[in-house]
Amino acid sequence: MALAIFDLDNTLISNDSDYLWGEFLVQKGYVDAKEFAATNAQFYEDYKAGTLDIYAYQRFALKPLSEHTSDTLEKWHQEFMAEFIEPIVLPKALELVQKHKDAGDELMIITATNTFITRPIGRRYGIETLLGTEGEIIDSRYTGEVAGTPTFQQGKVVRLNEWLKENNKTLEGSYFYSDSHNDLPLLKIVDHPVVVDGDEKLVSYAKEHGWKCITLRD
């Protein structure tokens, strides 16, 4: 049984769930539109450039979660899934996930986006094991702070190695599918790195090293 690992944003789905969650909050009027939208957009540019301060971003992203009850957040997320996520679910990505299931592989998503946003999306793809950035929760409420190591860049490797040790697993025969150069640390340690609709920097690296490049969008 090999481990098949998937990035989420712009890999299994055709946009960035973190960014879209911010757009959702703005459109619904749940946050101050002008200020939040501008900050959200700048953080997204930082991410694409590989210069994102993950702790600063996560505190920004987690702040709205800390201001509302879990019941309210659950209602919002159901709306978000229907209006923002379902339209960007990729049929070819669903087929790829099913292919690995049929092969008997163990499936996992590793994403820098927080688990409040991403766990329901993972379940939409039939993937229960998800490593994402965890928001701190005290007395059933988000505090706005990060708990543990964010799953970003080298942090994905740290969290994966912790999971492998806890579950007595190895990376023998493993796959990792990703679109982003931010995931190079993890792509370099799996047996089968696969670039999915990759950014320019990642595609260039993949070509130099003979990595497989695919698209799930046509």
Annotated catalytic residues are 7, 9
Q: Are 211 and 39 in contact (CB under 8 A)?
A: no
Give the 3-state secondary structure of residue 176: strand
Give the whole-angstrom CA distance, residue 63 versus residue 144: 5
* 98: region left, alpha or beta (phi > 0 left; psi from -120 to 50 alpha): alpha
Which residue(s) pair with 175 in the sheet?
A: 4, 192
Phi/psi for 151 (5° steps) reads -85, 70
Amino acid symbol at 150: P
